[in-house]
Amino acid sequence: MSKIRVVHYLNQFFAGIGGEEKADHKPELRIGIVGPGMALKKEFGEEAEIVSTIICGDSYFNENLKEASAQILKMIREQKPDIFMAGPAFNAGRYGAACGTICKMVKEELGIPVLSAMYEENPGVDMFRKDLFIIKTADSAAGMRTAAPAMAKLALKLAKKEEIGPPEAEGYHVRGIRKNVFRDKLGSKRAVEMLVKKLKGDEFVTEYPMPQFDNVTPSPAVKDMSRAKLALVTSGGIVPKGNPDRIESSSASKYGKYDISGLAALTSETSETAHGGYDPVYANKDPNRVLPVDALRDMEKSGRIGSLHNYYYSTVGNGTSVANSRAYALEFAHELKNDGVTAVILTST
Amino acid sequence: MVKEIERAGIPVVHICTVVPISLTVGANRIVPAVAIPYPLGDPNLPAAEEKKLRARLVENCLKALETEVSSQTVFDN
């Protein structure tokens, strides 16, 4: 049997092209292996071969979803792969979204198996877990050593159309698929056994985990904007020049509360971004591009809004854990409420 | 953060470039932005035009806040 043909997708960073300053890199096809493909090659042995690697900048892909998808699909089609693999994306949100989008498209358009790998808090997991196999990884590239073997193993199985085991066995994120199996004990017996274990305080494994929905009911609309007090919040890392609280450029361990009461607009003199997950050139030059203080001051003057709150809240939403983000907002949402803020505009990069 | 603010009973609009992420996170009022490094601007435009663009985007945010919604809504215009 000839070798399984693999096409691999990487972002600009993992392809070694560059960081955020290269995130607008357009789709590119390279013959053979690039970067993390080496780790996969080692695992594949003689069974499979990465015939080509497609590279695209994370910003370019997410900002030009349609064109980029079409270009990339064309490149993949021409390479006639038996399987398509993307990532691992670890905890990189835009990279995860790109990997998932392309995998889903390839699966639907070309009808071949696809596979990606991400950290559980990567938004790409919730976006695509129902559509794809996504191998579980650590939150940073330090997890490549365990990610590569798991990806390669499942990829070979998928390409050879072997039976795929449950998520725990194969190491992929739960997809919400139920499978009928025969058990030697009746359901009633298993249920009673489980109940007894529960009553005794022993460990047990449920056969039907309840889904966790965490939707928040939308708040009522603002009735009279001309009397409303608006506050700005951002995950785009806008901070006073010099970053006095030293908010980290990624995995932020804090947020900041900053006074803008005297400012008609943010400028490169007053403010900058602490965010390490996008090219900071544009935000540093004109921070209103991320936190629109100037526009809201105009609206305050014209009476479109009542007032702009004297403080804004900011953190860096780059690899910052969901638990931390939640804790920050829990804290400052109460302050906003106590300060009589009517509504919030939250900007993200 | 969007959800905790909303949970505190304050209406919030999320303006961001990658709308699918905002939908997954669970924002209820979403306004699509320009680009990741400059959600409310465009360095390719002359300064006056860029300010107008930003005013338009903020106006979309205000309209979103003035609109009653019963589920996740993307204010795309």
List, for residues A177-212, the tens digit of each pLDDT value.
878 888 899 999 999 999 999 999 999 988 877 666
- Which of left, alpha, beta for A43 (phi over 0: left; psi -120 to 50: alpha)? alpha
- Cβ pair A329:B5 closer than 8 A: yes
Residue A335 lies in a domain: yes
Q: Is residue A216 part of a domain?
A: no
Residues A12 and A139 in one domain: yes
Domain count, chain A: 2
Domain match, A247 and A330 both:
yes
Closest chain A residue to the Cα of B20, Cα to Cα: A127
Is the Cβ pair B1, A292 closer than 8 Å? no
Query: Which residues are bridge partners to A7 per DSSP?
Result: A52, A84
Closest CA–CA distance from residue A266 to any residue of chain B (Å): 13
ipTM: 0.97
Q: Would you call A289 and B71 a contact, using CB atoms and an 8 Å cutoff? A: no
Q: Tell me if A192 is assigned to some domain.
A: no
Answer yes or no: do A163 and A230 share one domain: no
User: Is A185 contained in some domain?
Assistant: no
Among A170, A201, A234, the domain boundary falls at: A170
Q: Is there a single domain that holds both residue A163 and residue A76?
A: yes
Residue A323's pLDDT band (boundaries 50, 70, 90)? confident
DSSP A184: S
Contacts of A97 in chain B (CB under 8 A): 18, 20-21
Same domain, A159 and A285: no
- A-B interface: how many C-beta pairs under 8 angstroms? 185
Mean pLDDT (whole number) for A238-267: 95
Instruction: Give CA torsion, residues B20, B24, B29, B35, to 10 deg.
Output: -30
Quick one: A165 and A233 in the same domain? no
Mean pLDDT, chain A, whole residue set? 94
Q: Is residue A91, in this structure, part of any structural domain at all? A: yes
Whether the Cβ atoms of residue A197 and residue A191 lie closer than 8 Å to each other: no
Rg (CA), chain A: 24
pTM summary value:
0.76
Are A329 and B21 within 8 A, CB to CB? no
Q: Which residues of A touch B59 (CB under 8 A)?
A: 299, 304
Testing the interface with A: which of B14, B15, B38 to mutate, by most A Cβ within 10 A? Answer: B38
Domain identity same for A62 and A144: yes
Per-residue model confidence as pLDDT tens digits over A89-142 = 999 999 999 999 999 999 999 999 999 999 999 999 999 999 999 999 999 999
Residues A21 and A136 in one domain: yes
Q: What is the pLDDT of residue A320?
A: 86
| Residue A1 pLDDT | 61
Looking at A142, A170, A198, the residue that finishes a domain is: A170
Query: CB distance A218–B20 less than 8 Å?
Result: no
Q: Distance from B77 to chain A by nearest Cα, in Å?
A: 16
The b/e string for B23-32 (b: 16+ C-beta within 10 A; e otherwise) is bbbbbbbbbb
CATH assignment at residue A11: 3.40.50.2300
> What domain range is A254 assigned to?
225-347
| pLDDT value of position B35 | 94
Is residue A177 one of the residues assigned to a domain?
no
Of A283, A298, A333, the CB nearest to B38: A283
List the single residue in B with minimal CA-CA distance to A122. Answer: B21
Residue A270 has a pLDDT of 96
Inter-residue contact B32 to B76 (CB < 8 Å) = yes
Residue A196 maps to a domain: no
Q: For residues A148 and A40, is the Cβ–Cβ distance under 8 A?
A: yes
Please tell me the predicted confidence (pLDDT) of residue A178: 79
Residue A73 sits at the vertex; the CA angle it makes with A93 and A62, to the nearest 5 degrees, is 30
Cβ atoms A56, A94 nearer than 8 A = no
Chain position carrying tokens 């199996």: A181
- Of A317, A234, A318, A238, whose CA–CA distance to A285 is shortest? A238
Q: State how far residue A23 is from chain B, nearest Cα, in angstroms.
A: 10
3-state secondary structure of A153: helix
Task: Kindly give the interhelix angle for A37-44 and A144-159, rounded to the nearest 10 degrees.
Answer: 50
A264 has a pLDDT exceeding 90: yes
pLDDT digits (tens, 9 = 90+) for B19-35: 988 998 899 999 999 99
Residue A249 lies in a domain: yes
pLDDT digits (tens, 9 = 90+) for A276-319: 999 999 999 999 999 999 999 999 999 999 999 999 999 999 88
Kindly determine whether residue A348 and residue B22, on different chains, have CB atoms separated by under 8 Å. yes
Question: Is A82 found in the same domain as A158?
Answer: yes
B16, B36, B63: which to substitute to probe chain A, counting the most A Cβ within 10 Å?
B36
